[in-house]
Homo-oligomer: A and B are copies of this chain.
Amino acid sequence: MKKLKRSARLVEMTQYLLTRPHTLISLTAFADRYQSAKSSISEDLAIIKEVFEEEGLGELHTLAGAAGGVKYTPKMADAEALSIMNGICRQLEQPERVLAGGYLYMTDMLGQPGLLADVGRMFATAFANAEIDVIMTVETKGIPLAYATAACMNLPVVIVRRDNKVTEGSAVSINYVSGSNKRIQTMSLARRALKEGARVLIVDDFMKAGGTIQGMMDLLYEFNAKVAGVGVFVESGELDTEERLLEDYVSLAKLTAVDMKTKQTTVVPGNYFNPIEN
């Protein structure tokens, strides 16, 4: 790359960092890339760090020393997250979204790149400090959420199938009971999809009793893998506590009431927005 002026270098470094989240980039690599002194690079990074942090885009961590470098951790500021989530809750409350069985139609919302990028940044914020090797979801509607989160966290995604396709090679299948309607279902994952000991963040679009997520946890057990966290976009808060199969999860929104006659629903921000208990 040809030597750039500071103004051009700032533009280039900003895009370079934004497109490589959760990746340690050595100062030497930047200095070589821009044919500039490390001291200039450090000054540039200080400017970028200040803007990113003031704008609530996330953190720029600088590690000192010979093996040092800089790492961008995308985050979303609490106030921005709450404002966005309130807007999402209003959308989720639209009466035409109520479907049979107390489900909500939200496929259209999960097709919007802007909404997905926001939700991905919220999950990335919630799990920024967890040690995670891979993000897992089950087809189909959790997939875009898993990828949006993965893009922010620079992690691979594995998708649990509801069948066992020929194109996947040998697979591990389990049966699980969907907690809300008590049906027995099957899910499977290609044997080569997950390494032993992998730390897994489970992401899904909707959780009622948690049977599907419990199924994914059982599957992880078969792979000797570990649950590093659970994130759901919308949880149904209509169940009694004893009906819920799991307790430790992060939800971004909570469906508190569905009136099937009037098609009125109430959706509020989820436990992601609860004050942290010490």
Which positions in A face B, CB cutoff 8 Å? 4, 6-8, 10-12, 14-15, 18-19, 47-48, 50-52, 55, 57, 99-101, 103-105, 107-108, 111-114, 116-117, 139-141, 143-144, 147-148, 150-151, 154-159, 161, 165-169, 190, 192-193, 206
Contact = CB atoms under 8 A, between A and B. Distances in A.
21 contacts: A6-B7, A8-B50, A10-B11, A11-B47, A11-B52, A14-B14, A14-B18, A15-B55, A18-B18, A19-B117, A99-B166, A99-B168, A101-B167, A103-B166, A105-B192, A107-B190, A113-B151, A113-B154, A114-B154, A143-B143, A144-B147
A156 B111 contact: yes
Contact of A112 (B57, B156, B161, B169): B156
A30 to B, nearest CB: 14
Chain B CB count within 10 A is highest, among A10, A99, A100, A108, for A10
Give the number of times this chain occurs in the complex, counting copies: 2
A105 B158 CA distance: 13
Given A12-B51, A166-B99, A111 B158 contact: yes
B111 A140 contact: no
- 4 nearest CB pairs, A to B: A14-B14, A111-B157, A11-B51, A103-B167
Contacts of A50: 8
Contacts of A155: 113
Contacts of A117: 19, 151
Nearest to A22: B113
A269 B19 CA distance: 25
A145 B40 CA distance: 38
